[in-house]
Each structure stands twice: as structure tokens, then as C-alpha cells.
Amino acid sequence: MSEAIDRYVQQNEQRFLGELKEFLRIPSISTLPEHNGDTHRAAEYAAEKLRLAGMENIEIIETERHPLVYADWLHAPGKPTVLCYGHFDVQPPDPLELWETPPFEPSERNGNLYARGSADDKGQMYSHIKAVEALQAVYGKIPVNLKFLLEGEEEVGGISVAEYVADNPEKLKADVALVSDTEMYEPGLPTLNIGLRGLVYLEIEARGPGRDLHSGLYGGAAPNAVFGLVELLSKAKDANGRIQIPGIYDDVAPPSAEEKESWTHLPFDEKEYLQNEVGATALTGEKEYSVFERTWARPTFEVHGIAGGFTGVGAKTVIPAKAVAKVSIRLVPNQSPEKVLASVQEFVAAHTPEGIQCSVRVLSSGPGLMVNPDHPAIRVAAQAFSDIFGKPTVFIRSGGSIPIVGDFANHLGIPTILMGFGLPDDGLHSPNEKYCIRNYFDGIRTLAHFFEEYGK
């Protein structure tokens, strides 16, 4: 560990925090077109800060939707090249009424910074920029070659960055990619993610009668679009949480005995997890699998939202003509999104109730994947993480999806270090999302330390 870097970070903590707050004030909600200008502003903000940190060849790359930001610094001949990735877009903040302080007015409480995007991913990606700044300020150079590729569509499927990676393998050539968009297993425990689930995100629409009908006059004979959709969706999983889409489990690669064994050593209290994290009366899902297996190594079927008919205050007795559900299937390594999509289409066709017509629209799709924990860059990253946090690094998976990791593997042929500084209770995608301020600073130190060690 470099004392000079530690000192620099310490002396600049308040400024680093102030800059992050400024970044978080930009409501770069990529899914809402009315915020397109904000998402662009977030790109400009990141580009400018890369420039000030001493990165070169900075580009804001316009796309059909939201811009990408590229930058590089390639003055470490003979040293490896790291491709840093992050995203500056965020999830919508609704339901707004559940936020204690407004989502885009960052607020410090109990050592945390509360704001939409604080952990996912502005706070984490901004650590990369500040690590570069620290190295440049202390040494006048960076110990490895660096490329940055930042995007503004991660929360809406990341189409543009995927195309850009596919189209520019030479420009983006690197030895390893580095992504900070995951969480530590528990506070203070350095954690590398070596597995991710993929995602197929769909909208299923059901149509029944040609118009909303009076349920008194037609009830008993006319199909009901909401009930039709309910019937269809209910058939997707049995009471034990087992997905009923044909063939869905065929290609699932189970974790190795060794990996499964390592999970049993992770500190985990199912009761506490249920009460403090999930906050429900019971867990659900396939009981014959552990919670780690269910959330990391098994596919899931979730309904994220449903709407149809009259949902205002009071009573309206209609038979609704239309209903729609947002649905996703999480995929584990070795499952093909295309094959799963075909099975879903088949399932929907087979189980659409009489009198109902269903259509499926694909919003995004990407596979799950694994990285090899014995890769040299992963080993150095694990050691660097361990050095700063003072504990051995654990290897876990995440049940979430980071499609870009698949793109880096497929188009650049490189593994990705998933070195995240988030915490399990950060509330990603939820009201009151926060980022631990201590982790923000220690993340910057860890990243700078990793670059130093990887450059040796």
C-alpha cells in the first residue's frame, strides 16, 4: 500500500464527496425519455472529470439513445492494459413518497450518502476516476495502461455499448476489464464476484374483449384480459417456485462441489436475511436449494409490474379489454437467452386462455457467465482488496445481470474483475438507495492500489 496515495485520498475526501454529490444531482434516468437531457449531462460531467484526472483522447460518443464516454491513457509500455467500465444512468426513483430525502438531493446520514445512483453506479464508477486522479497527482503517471468506457443505458439494456464493443474490438483491446457495480458480501469483507446471472426482460400483453365491458351484463360469458393474464402468469411457476417453462432447466450448469462448499463458509443467517433484508414473513423459491444457489445459480421468473382495468379510487365494474405485465427471467451460466425466449413464446402460446390473445415483446436479453478466479488479474485484484480492507477476499457470485461482462468476454476475449464496494443494504433500485461513504474512499484507495500492484 502506498502511503502517498492514502494521504492524497484522505486530504481530498471532502472534495471527492462534493463532486460525487454534484454528479448524483443529475437525474440521469435512462428509461424516461423526458430525462434524456439529464443523461447526456451526466455523460458530459464524467467526461470532464476524466479530463481533469489526466485521461486523454476523451470522446462523448453519440448513439441512437444515450451517449458513451471513452477515454484512455496509454503511456505505460510493457505494462498490462485495464479497461474500466461503469454507468452513469440510474433507475427511476418511484415510489417517490417512500424516500426520506429527495432522490436527487444527496443527503448524508449515519455515514451513508443517500441518493438514487449513489451505489448503482455513479458512486462506484466515480471511484475509478478519483483513483486515476490520485495516481496522477502523486506519481505524475499511472502504473498501467488504462481505457475507460462509460455508458448511459445500463438500466435499459445497454444496447449501444454492446454494439460499440462489438464494433470496436481493436480500440478497446485490453488485458482485463474492471467493473465496480457489485457489492461486498458484508461490510468490511473484500469480495470479488466471479459469476453473474443473465436476463431476458419481457412485456406480456393480454387482450380480451374489444372494449371494456360492463361486468354485470357480460360477466360469466366475456373473457377478462386481466384474469387471462393472471391465469397465464400463474402457470409460469408451481407452488414450490419451480419454473414451468418447458426446458428452462435443461442447460443450467450447476456450481462445482468446491464452489458450493466455499459458500457454506460465508457468514449467513437466513432468519436475519429474511427479517432485515427481505422483510417478508417467509422466503420463497426452490426449497431443495440453498438461498445462495437460488439467488446465484438458479434461473428465476419474476413479474416486475402488472397493470390493467380500473385501478383508481373506489369501484368500477368493468371487464377489462387489456392488461400488461413486465416479466423477467434470470439466466445462469450456460443457458442461451435465445433458447429461453423461444421456450417462453411456446409457453405463452400453449397457456393463453380461451378468448384471450397474448403478445410478447422483448425489451432486453443477455446470458449469465462465470470468470476464472485463477486469472492473474483476478488474483492481483483479490490481494489488493485484501490489503486495503485487512481481510482475505472472498469469491462469490451475484444474482444480478451485468450484460457488458458478456460483451467483453465475447468480443474482446477478456475476463472482467467485478470489484464492487456496495453493501447488501444499499437499496439498489429501491427508495432510499445509499452508498457507504467510508467505502467510497476505501474503494478509491483499493483501485489505486490494484493499478499499482498490477503494474508491477
Q: Residue 91, interface with a second copy (CB under 8 A)?
A: yes
Of 53-61, 94-102, 105-113, 335-343, which part binds a second copy (CB under 8 A)?
Answer: 94-102
CB of 310 to a second copy, least distance (A): 4
Under rule CB under 8 A, residue 455 binds a second copy: no
The Cα–Cα gap between 352 and 358 comes to: 7
Which CB, 301 or 441, lies closer to a second copy? 301
- The mark string for 195-234 relative to a second copy (x by CB under 8 A, - otherwise) is --x-x-x------xxxxxxxxxxxxxxxxx-xx--xx-xx
Q: Which is nearer to a second copy, 52 or 349 (CB)?
A: 349
Q: Does 268 bind a second copy (CB under 8 A)?
A: no
Looking at the Cβ atoms of 6 and 181, the one nearer to a second copy is 181
- Among positions 289-328, residues that touch a second copy (CB under 8 A) are 291, 294-295, 298, 300, 302-320, 323-326, 328
Q: Closest approach of Cβ 7 to a second copy, in Å? A: 36
Across the strands, what pairs with 90? 29
Sheet containing strand 357-366, strands side by side: 322-331, 198-207, 357-366
Q: What is the 3-state secondary structure (H, E, C) of 330-362?
A: EECCCCCHHHHHHHHHHHHHHHCCCCCEEEEEE
The residue (of 127 and 224) whose beta carbon lies closer to a second copy is 224
Q: Which string of DSSP letters, residue by residue, matches 141-189?
A: S-SSEEEEEEES-GGGT-HHHHHHHHH-HHHH--SEEEE--SB-SSTT-
Catalytic residue status for 175: no
The catalytically annotated residue of 72, 89, 151, 407 is: 89
Q: At what angle do helices 123-139 and 3-11 cross, to 10 degrees?
A: 120
Please name which of 95, 103, 101, 81 lies closest in space to residue 28, comparing C-alpha atoms: 103
Could you confirm whether 425 is annotated as catalytic? no
Residues numbered 334 to 373 that lie near a second copy (CB under 8 A) are 353-357, 363-364
Residue 227, C-beta contacts closer than 8 angstroms, at least 6 positions apart: 353
**Residue matched to cell numbers 426449497:** 287
CB of 179 to a second copy, least distance (A): 14
Tell me which stretch binds a second copy (CB under 8 A): 7-15, 37-45, 71-79, 272-280: 272-280
Tell me the one-letter amino acid at 385: F
How far is it, in rounded angstroms, from Cα 337 to Cα 329? 9
Does 424 sit near a second copy (CB under 8 A)? yes
- Size of interface with a second copy, in residues (CB under 8 A): 100
95 in contact with a second copy (CB under 8 A): yes
Question: What are phi and psi for residue 50, nearest 5 degrees?
Answer: -65, -45
Which of the following is catalytic: 154, 183, 259, 452? 154
Taking CB under 8 A as the criterion, which residues in 113-132 touch a second copy? none
Q: Classify the phi-psi angles of 394: left when phi > 0, otherwise alpha if psi is within -120 to 50, otherwise beta.
A: beta
Over 2-20, what HEC string results? Answer: CHHHHHHHHHCHHHHHHHH
Binds a second copy (CB under 8 A): choice among 284, 376, 391, 413: 284
150 near a second copy (CB under 8 A): no
- Tell the residue number behind the cell numbers 482485463, with chain if given: 176
Closer of 80 and 431 to a second copy (Cβ): 431
283: contact with a second copy by CB under 8 A:
yes
Where in 42-81 is the site for a second copy (CB under 8 A)?
none
| 102 binding a second copy? (CB under 8 A) | no
For residue 121, is the peptide bond before it cis, meaning its omega torsion is within 30 degrees of 0?
yes
Nearer to a second copy, 12 or 398 (CB): 398
Active site residues: 89, 154
